[in-house]
Every structure is written in structure tokens, then in C-alpha cells.
Amino acid sequence: MSQRFKDIDYIGVVLWLFRTAIVVVVLWGTISKLFLEQGNAYTTIDWIDFLIAGLSQGSLYALIALGYTLVYGVLFMINFAHGEFFMSGTMTATIFVALPLSSSGFLDANPILGMLIIIIVAMLVSVGVALLTERVAYRPLRRAPRLVPLITAIGASFFWQYFFRGLYGSTLIPFPELQVLVGKWTVFGIEILKTRAVVMVASVIMLIGLYIFIMRTKTGTAIRAVAEDKDIAALMGIDVDRTISITFATGAAMAGAAGILYGMVFRQVHFFMGFVPGIKAFTAAVLGGIGSIPGAALGGLFLGLIEAVGPPLFLEGLGIPGAHQLKDVIAFTMLVLVLIFRPQGIVGERLAEKKA
């Protein structure tokens, strides 16, 4: 017994040192940026731009993160292929709907209707891919050891990535530009790129819609019941398999919509686009507390912010060249740090150790 306590202390010290080192590095970078003016000089407007870019990117992460959170809630499984659900709908809708609509002029004539059609197609394709994946790769393994579905999820992720690569080619495909959304709006004296504003508003609407769906509708109640206890839920007359499928579909629909918003902001789609946003959205879900919908939203926004503000703030402050290249490192470091020090996330319960 005493041996065990010694271990914990020893590891605890190492982790504590690690944590302190990170805090010191971040503080040092921030201070030298703000007070010693290392690196590029930014005006207040630049900083506001960084913030807004972060928030709009973060709201996309939030939408994708919902899929991880919902599935983790019901199955305690990391759906590694979720980024591919995001990609599949976006690419398909871009190639078969957005590009034709744009070249025929329909999109610019009826931007709202056009975007709605594109988003709905993307959602449908994402949902289709998600349901197929769930049926083939996850459902047969519901009672298998926990690593088994994770491995099939990894397999599914690569399968879809390279399937769509074969289907649509490996080139970057341009997402059409909407004439209406070129330029900036001025809100309270702050200039915002129109696309970013639309992304934020659309995300908030979808997040609220999803929250209402989960908390107020019968199906949402069923999802929560299955998340609580599958066997009891089955006894209460809930079709567990069907509910799990609906959960996957809901997450995938959000991802499909997020994908189109992503295309609008970055103006290009490709077969590999799901991977990094997928991992970052997972980070966001964990950050907020996996299993919790408001947590996913908070985590997404937080991650987006720190990713946008981090490189100019404390990385440049440290005198690191090409700081923006290390944006991904910040996100992955966040993931590692959260899982080590606060696996329950901002609002969630402690899952990483207990239920694992």
C-alpha cells in the first residue's frame, strides 16, 4: 500500500512540474509579447480579428464536436470516423450540388434557398455514411472489448477517406463563392467578414435546435435514456439499436452542415479535410466534458479561440519563427493537457479514468 502512495506522489510531482512548465512558458510568452513587444506588432483591430476568427472556427468545432459527444454519451466509444462523416457530405454536396448551382447562376440568384439545398444534401449524405458505418462496423461489435470498436472506427475512417479520394480525386475542389457574402459587415463598430458572421449565427441556431431536440422531444428523451442505461431503456420499451442509429444520424447531420459552413469559410474541400477538424473537434468535446452538449459548444469555442490567439500571443512572444504553423500543436497539446489534468472537462463528469 505504501508503495502505491509513493508512486502517486512521484508521478504527481512529475505531472505537477509539467503543468508548471506549461504555465510558465505560456505566461512568459504572453508577457514578452504584450510588454516587451516581441514579434510582429498587432493593433487592437488585429486582435479583434483574431478573436472573431477564433470564435467562428470554434463554432464549427462545436458543431462537429456534438457528434463525438452524442455517440460517446450512448456508446462510450470514440467515433474516430466522425471527421469522415463531415468530409463525405461536404464533398458530395459541393461536387454534385454547389458547383452546378453556382455555375448555372442559381446560387447567386437565390442564395438562401441555394445554401439550404446544399446543406440539406450534405446532411443527408453524411447521415447515410454514418448509418452505413454504424450498421456495418459498429453494431456487430456492441458487446466486444472496448478497443475492438475503436479499431474498426479507425478502419472506417481510413476506408472512407480513401474511398472518397478514389471517387472524387485527390485534388482540391473549390467551393463556390457567394456574391452576397463577399465583404464585411459592421456590427457595433467592429468589422466582421460576412462569411464568419453567417457561420457563427448558423452554428448557434443549430446548437440551440439540437439542444431542444435532445431535451424536449420524445426521441431526444430516448437518446438520453439509452445514454443512461441501455438495458433499462430497453425494458422501458425503447428500441436501443434504433435510438443509437438516430444518435449517429443526428451527429452526422450536424457534421454535414458544419462541413458546408467550413467550405464557405475556407473556399475549398478535399478528401483529407475531415481528419484534422475531426481530431480537433474531439479535443473540443473532451475539453468541454464529453457527453455534454453545452460542454461541446463551450469546448469548441474555447479551442477555436486559443488556436487563433495562441500563435500571435504567446508563441510569437517566445520568439518562435513561423508561429502560425504551430496552430495544430496548440490544439493537440490542449488535448493532451486536458486528458491529463482535467479529463472531466469544463462541465462533464470524470469519464476518462472511471468508465474506461
Partner 1 sequence: MSSQLDLRNTARVGLLAGVITLGVSAVGMLESFDKRDLIIGLLTLGQLLLFSAPFAAGFLVTRGEDKVDTGEAVVGGAVAGALTAVPLIALILLTLAAPNIRNSLVNVSPELISLLSLGASEIVGSLLLLVGMAVLGVAGAMFHVLPDAIRKPLISGLGWMLGFAILSEVSLNILRPILGRGLMRALFGTKGITPLLAAIIFVVAIGLTIWWSKGGQQRYEDRKAAMSEEQRKQSRRISIGVGIVSLLILPIILGTYLTEVVDNVGLFILMGLGLNIVVGFAGLLDLGYVAFFAIGAYVMGILTSQGDLGIAGMSFWLALPIAVGAAVLAGVTLGIPVLRMRGDYLAIVTLGFGEIIRVLATSDLLKPYIGGAQGILQIGKPTIFGFEMVKPIHFYYLILAGVGLAVFVASRLRDARLGRQWMALREDEDVAEAMGIHLVSTKLLAFGIGAAFSGLAGAIFSARLSSIFPHSFNLLISINVLSLIIVGGIGSLPGVVVGALVLVGLPELLREFAEYRMLLYGALLIAMMIARPEGLWPSPITKREFHAAEEEEALGGVQ
Q: Are 323 and 39 in contact (CB under 8 A)?
A: yes
Please state the closest distance from residue 16 (CB atom) to partner 1, in A.
12
In order, the DSSP letters of 50-109 are HHHHHHHHHHHHHHHHHHHHHHHHHH----TTHHHHHHHHHHHHIIIIIHHHHHTTHHHH
The residue (of 126 and 161) whose beta carbon lies closer to partner 1 is: 161
* Cell (9 digits) for 190: 467592429
Residue 95 interacts with partner 1 (CB under 8 A): yes or no: yes
Q: Is the dihedral of CA 221, 283, 31, 35 positive or negative?
A: negative
Residue 172, Cβ density class (10 Å: 0-12 exposed, 13-18 middle, ≥19 buried): middle
The residue (of 26 and 210) whose beta carbon lies closer to partner 1 is: 26
The residue (of 195 and 344) whose beta carbon lies closer to partner 1 is: 344
The residue (of 4 and 216) whose beta carbon lies closer to partner 1 is: 4
The residue (of 211 and 332) whose beta carbon lies closer to partner 1 is: 332
Residue 116, Cβ density class (10 Å: 0-12 exposed, 13-18 middle, ≥19 buried): exposed
Q: Which of 61, 282, 302, 314 binds partner 1 (CB under 8 A)?
A: 282
* Cell (9 digits) for 79: 467515433
Q: Which of 24, 31, 116, 167 binds partner 1 (CB under 8 A)?
A: 167
Q: Which of 169, 185, 201, 232 binds partner 1 (CB under 8 A)?
A: 169
Please state the closest distance from residue 298 (CB atom) to partner 1, in A.
19
Residue 87 interacts with partner 1 (CB under 8 A): yes or no: no
Rule CB under 8 A: which of 261-280 touch partner 1? 279
Q: For partner 1, what does the binding mask look like between residues 227 and 256, x meaning CB under 8 A?
A: ----x-------------------------
Give a three-class secondary structure readout of 224-273: HHHHHCHHHHHHCCCCHHHHHHHHHHHHHHHHHHHHHHHHHHHCEECCCC
Rule CB under 8 A: which of 103-162 touch partner 1? 136-137, 140-141, 143-152, 154-162
Q: CA-CA-CA-CA torsion for 271, 200, 250, 286, nearest 10 degrees?
A: 80
Binding site for partner 1 (CB under 8 A): 3-4, 7, 10-11, 14-15, 18, 77-78, 95-96, 136-137, 140-141, 143-152, 154-163, 165-169, 231, 279, 282-283, 320-322, 325-326, 328-329, 332-333, 335-336, 339-340, 343, 352-353, 356
